[in-house]
Structure 1
Amino acid sequence: MSLPAAPYLVLPHTVLGTASLWAWASTLGMHIGVKNKEPLTVMRLSNILLVAITVFPPVYYPATLLPEGARMPAFLLPTVAVSHLIAGGPAMRHP
């Protein structure tokens, strides 16, 4: 891959990744809003999900600290997969 061709190879993957993350987050928010009619329940559930999605995934600590059974489900969260790719790990394997 030559350097001038890099934007043409990277840009579609970036756009596709951003669009899929947007669709995932929109679907999750729509599901929470439609299934729960009480505003306080929606607020509590969204706060719990916010903490679960941003704090608990192994982004700020190594994934090897998680139990073996919790590593693969953790990679379903986009932040974990992206942080693992940035660190130089393989895309589809857990550490």
Structure 2
Amino acid sequence: MVKPKLYGGVGTNRAILTKWTRRFGNEMIAYGRLLLRHAMVGLLIASSLCLIEAASLLESGKTSLPPSLLRMLILRLFVLAWLS
């Protein structure tokens, strides 16, 4: 009986394909996580800026929104910033 070579024989293509698929799959997962982190940081910055703007509007009183609605908006933005 002939023994298969190290890189030859039955199932070699499948093993190589599995190796490359696993490698690129892991890279795609890593890129996805990186994009998600960047999106979360962007969301944190945007919600923080909105929170500052809403607080300054509430303090100055120069808004047509009722203060209770503005306080609710500030609370929601704060929770959004905290979650991200």
TM-score (ref. length: structure 1): 0.40
Larger proportion of helix: 2
Largest Rg, 1 or 2: 2
TM-score (ref. length: structure 2): 0.44
